[in-house]
A and B are shown apart, each in its own frame.
Chain A
Amino acid sequence: MTTHPYSPWRQRSRRLRIFGRRYAESPTGVIGAVIFGTIVLMAIAAPLLSPQDPYDMMVLNLMDSRLSPGEVGSAGFVHVLGTDDQGRDIWSMILYGLRISLSVGLGAGGISFALGGFVGIFAAYRGGRIDAIIMRLVDFQLSFPAILVALVLLAALGSGIDKVVIALVTVQWAYFARTARSAALVERQKDYIAGAKSLGLSESRTILGHLLPNSLPAIMVIAAIQVANAILLEATLSFLGLGLSVTEPSLGMVISNGFQHILSGRYWMTVYPGIALVLTVLSLNLIGDRLREMLDPRGQS
């Protein structure tokens, strides 16, 4: 049996292709997507791309500590970006650090997306008092800077990957809720929602099956930027010593580790991990910027 020409699957893939073609009209958008894609692949393939596992005590040699970029260590391979004070290869530390930074950022971003998106759409669908209460909460939350909220939480909860994710979600759900609500408010006015209601569809089915998919594009735009912010905030918190524990070395912690050596001029311990962090965040921001341009009709000029 052949696929029906109007099957939802065919339509979706066609829409995806059109979307891709429009996205590619902007060179900066493409650059962002390419850089981010490369970084994700490098993080996934970290064990293959790095000459050593920097967190395996057995392969570390203190003789190799503080080698500058390009020197050959005792294991016989070149430390392209140098080593840190414990003889760990900086290039390998960056690759393994990316894994943790990306998973924390994407994980926290994903949870905030789901939680904030649902709360926002629910508020828009229900309206009235529930909407007012939720939006008051959102406004209250957004009136405090992210770093302050995260400080309060981590001061109370202690450090660790789960606590950092809790802090990031607490900071970010409100952004998603606000965006989702405003998108859903527009969608709610449209005829197909009235149609769904008149068909007698249940509330949950109307929200999940109709309101949510149509409000999704607007939420996707801020998702890219919020993941970038999550990665940045986690790095900052880890740098301050409030974020992840030492057994979960994200890029922020690698940089924090190199901070002690900066006055002695060992620049490679902070410069290179920092460049990796900047490229990750910058590429996500470029993607987010392009998505916003595409969605915002005023951006067509």
Chain B
Amino acid sequence: MTLFIVRRLLQGVFVIVAMSVVVFVGIYLIGNPVDILINPQASIELKQATIERLGLDLPLPLQYFRFVAGALQGDLGQSYVYSVSAFSLIGTALPATLELAFSGLFIALVIGIPLGMWAGYRPNHWSSKVIMGFSILGFSLPTFWVGLMMILVFSVELGILPSGGRGDTVSVLGVEFSFLTLDGLSHLVLPAFNLALFKLGLVIRLVRASMQETLKQDYIRFARAKGLRERDVVGVHAFRNILLPLTTVIGLEFGSLVAFAVVTETIFAWPGMGRLIINSIGVLDRPVIVAYLMMTAVIFVIINLIVDIAYSFLDPRVRMEGNN
């Protein structure tokens, strides 16, 4: 088990290193940092001084080394706009994004699992066909447009839900949360549903496929032969085995929810890291962009690690493989 975790940790470190190289190449080489960082109207002496101060005249491997050394100390430079450390800026926006992503995931699972199980249990029933049609629609609807339509219907026409912002928050251990107040919750509903819709179709399809697969297994036939109620056969025996493939996908999809929150946050003016990165790209606030990308890479690695460990608990075969 320890060996298994250590091996996965090493893979995670490799992903972060690879990401740092990609980001470094992307921002420092493809875009010209001199043009981005220095006012084009500055005098040549000033330009030269700035280039030297930022180390932009050093050989590339050395520049990369300085970048990594800074990153390891949590120092990815100062935001040009806010004049605070880019890392802490991302850090303060992170809880809002995580709250949104968790809410979206929760909604997608609570709605998607029962619908998917039903569609897999009775694949030829008319209601299952409706559910599957709905899931194709879920793939095809542009998330950002659905968000706009939600604002149009619930905020503009009906006027029952706010169109943007986080509302009142409650501070728990120094972190602000919206879902603990009624006002905050009303601000959270639209963005969370918007983000959930993005994953709902996928959850339905996945659960349906594994449900159909599971129902063919011998243990389901045994459970039925034993005279168990159909409710227990499906709700206990089939349900447990659906969780297995779902865990992996949930992990991976949670990462993509964090990334896709960029869109939802922009529409609903949700003050998370997604909105921060879009604003930063708009004004070329490079340290914040780099900090966001590195932060997202780290989140991805952590999620993958958690998924792998959870998987090995759920499925002993994976654990055995790690030991050999």
Q: Contact residues of A with B, CB < 8 Å?
A: 140, 143-145, 147-148, 151-158, 228, 232, 235-236, 239-242, 252, 255, 259, 262-263, 265, 267, 270-271, 274, 277-278, 281-282, 285-286, 289
* Contact of B259 with A148 in the complex, beta carbons under 8 Å: yes
State how many residues of chain B have any CB contact under 8 Å with chain A.
43
Q: Mark B135-163, 1 if CB is under 8 A from A, else 0.
A: 01101111111001101100111000001
Of the candidates B26, B140, B289, which one forms a contact with A281 in the assembled complex, judged by CB atoms under 8 Å apart?
B140
Min CB–CB distance B183 → chain A (angstroms):
19
In Å, the complex CA distance between A145 and B255 comes to 8
* Contact of A285 with B140 in the complex, beta carbons under 8 Å: yes
* Contact of A270 with B278 in the complex, beta carbons under 8 Å: no
Of the candidates A144, A242, A259, A286, which one forms a contact with B281 in the assembled complex, judged by CB atoms under 8 Å apart?
A242
Of the candidates A144, A151, A265, which one forms a contact with B300 in the assembled complex, judged by CB atoms under 8 Å apart?
A144
* Contact of A278 with B140 in the complex, beta carbons under 8 Å: yes
The verdict on B130 contacting chain A, using a C-beta distance below 8 Å, is: no
Min CB–CB distance A166 → chain B (angstroms):
10
In Å, the complex CA distance between A265 and B304 comes to 43
In Å, the complex CA distance between A242 and B281 comes to 8
Of the candidates A147, A154, A158, A255, which one forms a contact with B263 in the assembled complex, judged by CB atoms under 8 Å apart?
A147
Task: List which B281-309 residues lie within 8 A (CB) of chain A.
Answer: 281-282, 289, 293, 296, 300, 304
* Contact of B281 with A232 in the complex, beta carbons under 8 Å: no
List 4 A-B pairs, minimum CB-CB distance, nearest first. Answer: A145-B256, A282-B140, A156-B26, A274-B145
Q: Contact residues of B with A, CB < 8 Å?
A: 15, 18, 22-23, 26-27, 30-31, 136-137, 139-145, 148-149, 151-152, 155-157, 163, 252, 255-256, 259-260, 262-263, 266-267, 277-278, 281-282, 289, 293, 296, 300, 304
* Contact of B140 with A259 in the complex, beta carbons under 8 Å: no
Min CB–CB distance B223 → chain A (angstroms):
24
Min CB–CB distance B248 → chain A (angstroms):
12
Note all chain B residues with C-beta closer than 8 A to A144. Answer: 259, 300
In Å, the complex CA distance between A281 and B143 comes to 12
Note all chain B residues with C-beta closer than 8 A to A270. Answer: 145, 148-149, 152
Of the candidates B15, B143, B152, B296, which one forms a contact with A148 in the assembled complex, judged by CB atoms under 8 Å apart?
B296
Note all chain B residues with C-beta closer than 8 A to A286. Answer: 136
Minimal Cβ-Cβ distance residue in A for B282: A241
Min CB–CB distance A113 → chain B (angstroms):
20
Known: A147-B262, A147-B263. A274 touches B152 (CB 8 A): no
* Contact of B148 with A157 in the complex, beta carbons under 8 Å: no
Minimal Cβ-Cβ distance residue in B for A270: B148
Note all chain A residues with C-beta closer than 8 A to B27. Answer: 155-156
Note all chain A residues with C-beta closer than 8 A to B267. Answer: 259
In Å, the complex CA distance between A242 and B262 comes to 12
In Å, the complex CA distance between A274 and B149 comes to 9
Min CB–CB distance A123 → chain B (angstroms):
20
4 extra interface residue pairs, beta carbon distance < 8 Å, beyond A152-B23, A158-B31, A242-B278: A147-B259, A240-B266, A277-B142, A278-B145
Minimal Cβ-Cβ distance residue in B for A145: B256
